[in-house]
Structure 1
Amino acid sequence: MATKALSFTLSLNDLFSSKPPHTASNLSVFSVRCSAGNGERPWKNSDARLVLEDGSIWKAKSFGASGTQVGEVVFNTSLTGYQEILTDPSYAGQFVLMTNPQIGNTGVNFDDEESAQCFLSGLVIRSLSISTSNWRCVKDLGDYLTERNVMGIYDVDTRAITRRLREDGSLIGVLSTDNSKTDEELIHMSKSWDIVGVDLISGVSCKSPYEWIDRTKEGWEFSTGEGPRDTFHVVAYDFGIKHNILRRLASYGCKITVVPSTWPASETLKLNPDGVLFSNGPGDPSAVPYAVETVKSIIGKVPVFGICMGHQLLGQALGGTTYKMKFGHHGGNHPVRNLRTGRVEISSQNHNYAVDPATLPEGVEVTHINLNDSSCAGLAFPAQKLVSLQYHPEASPGPHDSDNAFGEFIELIKHGKNKTPSKSVHELQSV
């Protein structure tokens, strides 16, 4: 755009003297040039919309990738750890709204990633930090999202949206920077898409088995124990597993083989593992019946530990049912009571589904409950050498209160190593 300018000439006497003008030889003359610039404001204008299936339209400013994306909107109450949240595969198919108002002030670094990429559909925040101030920072959040083709919006009323989600439940939304699409088109798109019944696990799982050996780095180790003395072989099913779950298992003395979500149970048992981990992952557990069948075939033959999605799959494999929660649990500050000890843990959680304890068979014990809504947060079935948690004991992000769950799994392995294998779930159901 051409620059517009205005020029005029003044004398100092014209400005500061009330006397008649002097002769030309006594005048000091200068020129003033005013530029209108390129006509743009020095701040970013709203260039994005978040449209919800209830018809509400929220104007915002974009950062990261551009385009149009659809997903389920959930809110996360964590105060820190946005990079771990961005790289948690359990957020596949979702827009994550952070209730903490300022995001981006610590930038990003490659040590805090929980997987090799970002699986969430978009990030919604109130205020995008204009600077980063952390010694580990290697780039800012906006550049990071752009490189990973993830959409983000800011300058939107996250408090109002959170209140709406708490009252109405999780809503499908559309993020768009495309001005050619009308509000009505975006609303129709949000109403035409559903996350229930969709297999999201297959899109986040590894494609072939691999060995994991990395432990928690010494500088970040928070366990007060003496460290591992024995080495146990654990097969970990990757339903969307986080790196720090693997690091914590390795720190407790485990040699880990990670296998895809579709890995046959028969192949797992051929490896003769000391234990099996069913990991966290995204979406509806009822949408992955193949995973439930795998879990059924392994229960009772080796000690098992289920985390989040793994916990829900164990519940279904035991004959129980799961249900979709109103707005789920997402955050690093959820209180959970251990019913065996009475101890309260502050936990890191990320799930939209829960196990209905009333549908579980006799012998299955509810070991933990969420103190916000009394939902089932942990199970144990001693006869089947089984334990599970609905939340993330590795605490990424979040407090370390639940780290002892990995130690309990190791004790279960030790206790079951020399015992005769129990009947499988299939065998029990056929009796």
Structure 2
Amino acid sequence: MPIASAARTAPGSRRSQTRGKALLVLEDGYVLRGAAYGAAGRAVGEIVFNTGMTGYQETLTDPSYHHQIVVMTAPHIGNTGVNDEDRESGRIWVAGYVVRDPARRASSWRSRRELEDELADAGVVGVCEVDTRALTRHLRERGAMRAGIFSGAALPAGADDPAGPSAAAVDICLDAVRVSPPMAGQALAGEVSTREHYVVEPSGRFEGREPVARVAAIDLGIKARTPWQLAERGVRVHVLPQTTSLAQVLALGPDGVFFSNGPGDPGAATGEVELLRGVLDAGIPFFGICLGNQIFGRALGYGTYKLGYGHRGVNQPVLDRATGRVEITAHNHGFAVDAPIDAPSTAPYDSGRYGPIEVSHVGLNDDVVEGLRALNMPAFSVQFHPEAAAGPHDGEHLFDRFIELMVSHRDGTAPETTQEAH
């Protein structure tokens, strides 16, 4: 089994001199030795990499990373510390965290705490001083897989031998990794969704005014920035639990329904698919992002499939096919919709019940479906994250498009099928 060497750490780092040993073990037997970072203990989950050069706090608090160990490809992490404004939810969701060179100390006027202290307080087990470049190349070649981080009392005997971890120690770690469930087949939205219905009122220049529209947002792992984007545009947002029924949605009399991002396999989101079909049958305008896009695809009758290593980061180029514009977008997904790209197709569900559908956006790195638009219904979705708190902001206009769609449908001012992307 290959054992990669540790990355060189910055000289003079007092933290690196006092850290305990840590072991990162992938289910295919790939092993990395490093140092403990954050909490000590054991963390298992699907290991994925994030290519963002900034925004690590938003990544950590994104519920879509539930049950995942995140590898940061940017080499230096923690230099801006942690603040109370950039959180996307009320907690850190990653199962584990892998970085190359942790910052010795935070240096930002917005910082309130050190990143490592935040991870330790949240019980998030991490590893540092590893070659994240080699690890990322391995995942690109072999695909996302299960992995485990082991440190402190969870580090088996023989794992910290100077000559390298013993075969017995690695086998103990491998057993723990391989008994953990794979991401495929897991329905996780219910584990991260809000338990209570709450309302985000119009804000900014719309504060205190009548809302321009009312949206029922199904929380499948929603990020705080999403209702904020709508509220800043004058929308009253009802954020609803993943268990919300169609009757409860209809009782709100919404002008539109939104399905958020979230973790897990869209193939296991049976209840969410049925809820969305009820929304489409009721003729309510719909907008979905990330997992919401995949659920829209499934509701239309298309399949979904697992990507080799997924798209995660803030630098993904996407083509808007209606305008020819290339947008740089934020992503966090390991599954994609399997829909015909070349020309509009009839939605397979129920013998074409939902009419023709076009693929509105395509990923330029690998031709993955990045958006869907119904031609005979007021409904569309994108695979990326247009709210993108850490940036980029190229996709924010989609919230305006959603509002235009809701208002025109409600007021009968324009046919839904003529709505353009901008």
Q: TM-score, normalised by structure 1?
A: 0.83
Measure how far apart 1:42 and its partner are: 8.1
- 2:403 is matched with which residue: 395, 407, 410? 410
Bigger mean CA offset, 173-182 vs 235-244: 173-182
Once the two structures are TM-superposed, the CA of residue 60 in structure 1 deviates from its matched residue by: 1.1
Give 3-state SS (helix, strand or coil) of 2:80's partner.
coil
Letter in 1 for 2:272: A
Is contact 2:23–2:155 with CA below 8 Å preserved after alignment?
Answer: no
Check conservation: 1:319, 1:360, Cα contact below 8 A: no
Other structure's SS at 2:392 match: coil
User: For residue 393 of structure 1, what is the aligned residue in structure 2?
Assistant: 386
| CA deviation vs aligned residue, 1:248-293 (integer Å, no higher than 9, x gap) | 0111111011100110011101111000100000110111211111
Matched residue SS, 1:396:
coil
Seen in structure 2, the aligned counterparts of structure 1 residues 360 and 57 have a Cα distance that, compared at 3 Å, is farther
* Cα distance in 1 between the residues matched to 2:19 and 2:189: 38
Greater Rg by CA: 1
CA distances 1:113-158 after superposition (whole Å, capped 9, x unpaired): 0000111101100000002110000010011111111112110010
User: Whole-Å Cα distance in 2 between the matches of residues 127 and 160 of structure 1?
Assistant: 14
Name the count of aligned residue pairs.
Answer: 373
> Residue 352 in 1 paired to residue 334 in 2?
yes
Aligned in 2, Cα 1:41/1:273: closer, same or farther, shift over 3 Å? closer
The answer for the alignment partner of 2:8 in structure 1 is: none
Find the counterpart in structure 1 of residue 102 from structure 2: 128
Matches of 1:409 and 1:214 in 2, distance apart? 16
- Structure 1 distance, partners of 2:408, 2:116, is 49
The change in CA–CA distance for 1:63 and 1:318 in structure 2 (over 3 A counts) is same
The answer to whether structure 1 residue 187 and structure 2 residue 174 are counterparts is: yes
The alignment-based identity, stated in percent, is: 42
Name the counterpart of 2:293: 311
**1:103 maps to 2:91:** no
User: CA offset at residue 41 of structure 1?
Assistant: 11
Residues 42/402 of structure 1: CA separation in 2 closer, same or farther (3 Å cut): closer
Distance 1:327 1:360 in 2: 29
Q: Is 1:376 matched with 2:352?
A: no
State the match for 1:285 in structure 2: 266
Task: Pick one of 193, 200, 220 that aligns with 2:188.
Answer: 200
What secondary structure, in the 3-state scheme, does the structure 2 residue paired with 1:112 have? Answer: coil
Q: 1:235 to 1:190 in 2, by over 3 A?
A: same
What are the ranges of 5 or more consecutive residues in structure 2 without an aligned counterpart? 1-13, 158-168, 348-354, 416-422
Cα offsets for 1:334-382 (capped at 9, x unmatched) = 0001000000100000000000113862511111001000110011103
Distance 1:213 1:188 in 2: 49
Q: Supply the distance in 2 between the matched residues of 1:188 and 1:108 (Cα, whole angstroms).
A: 35
**Cα offset for 1:190?**
1.6
> What residue in structure 2 maps to residue 339 of structure 1?
321
Task: Provide the C-alpha distance between the structure 1 equivalents of 2:367 and 2:224, rounded to a whole number of angstroms.
Answer: 29
1:167 and 1:41, CA in 2 relative to 1: closer, same or farther beyond 3 A?
A: closer
Take 1:42 and 1:314, find their aligned partners in 2: how far apart are those partners?
Answer: 47
Separation of aligned partners in 1, 2:155 and 2:372: 49
Q: 5 Å matches for 1:242-253?
A: 242-253=223-234
- Aligned residue type for 2:322: R
Q: Which residue of 1 aligns with 2:418?
A: none
In the alignment, the residues of structure 1 paired with residue 15 and residue 262 of structure 2 have an alpha-carbon distance, to the nearest angstrom, of 44
Counterpart in the other structure of 2:160? none
Structure 2 match to 1:429: none
User: How far apart are residue 397 of structure 1 and its match?
Assistant: 2.4
Cross-structure match for 1:211: 199
The AA in structure 1 aligned to 2:101 is S
CA contact (8 A) 1:78 1:398 kept: no
Q: Which amino acid aligns with 2:406?
A: I
Report deviation, 1:317.
0.5
Does structure 2 conserve the Cα–Cα contact (< 8 Å) formed by 1:318 and 1:360?
no
1:348–1:398 contact (8 Å) kept in structure 2 = yes
Q: Aligned AA for 2:251?
A: K
| Distance across 2 between alignment mates of 1:72 and 1:256 | 33
